[in-house]
Amino acid sequence: PTVEKTIKSTTRNTGKTSIGGEAYKEFESPKTLLENGEKFYNNGNLKEAMDCFQKTIKMDENNFKALQYQGMIYELQEAPLEAIKSYKRALHVKKDDPLTLYYLSVSLYNADKYKESKEISEKLTKVRPDWDDSWYILAISLQAMGDIKGAIKAYSKALNINPLNEEASTGLKELLG
């Protein structure tokens, strides 16, 4: 078919051409929106990034990365309760994702939900027992709850894994006097 016939066939019902319609759909695909959102996020443009991630989630409510990024942006905007919702939704998609468990635990801690933070941190230490940050977030949650013995033990485990973890070292020194 010639270009003229193609154009006539696309304009038959509406009188308008739909050339470019597929390109627009491709531009607005969840994959493209996610990629654009990641670029905006990495460049510090959180408003545009959030817009892309929310559009992605609207198109694909189980898009793990978009949910995770949305939570990260909410946390950066000091909206831990919204971040918590995003991370919990992400964990419904990937049940034991260590990074999302960590982010959720931090958001719970920042929302003064220490008991929940401790519970998620404990789960994280089972998923990633070799990660010093697993033990660090558990330690600060325990400390906030007044469990000094437990906090000392968790700080110590963090430092056994990574002796250069300054936050764990400082926390332990504060507790030991």
Residue 27's pLDDT is: 61
Split at pLDDT 50, 70, 90, the class of 177 is: confident
CA-to-CA distance for 101 and 120, rounded, in angstroms? 6
Looking at per-residue pLDDT, the higher value among 22 and 69 belongs to 69
How many other CB atoms are there within 10 angstroms of residue 63's CB atom? Answer: 22
Mean pLDDT of 108-132: 97
H or E, element range at 144: helix 132-145
Spatial separation of the C-alpha atoms in residues 153 and 161, rounded to whole Å: 13
Distance from C-alpha of 131 to C-alpha of 136, rounded to nearest angstrom? 9
Contact residues for 11 (Cβ-Cβ < 8 A; gap 6+): 17, 18
Average pLDDT rounded to a whole number, residues 17-41: 74
DSSP string, 13-34: TTSS--TTHHHHHHHTSHHHHH
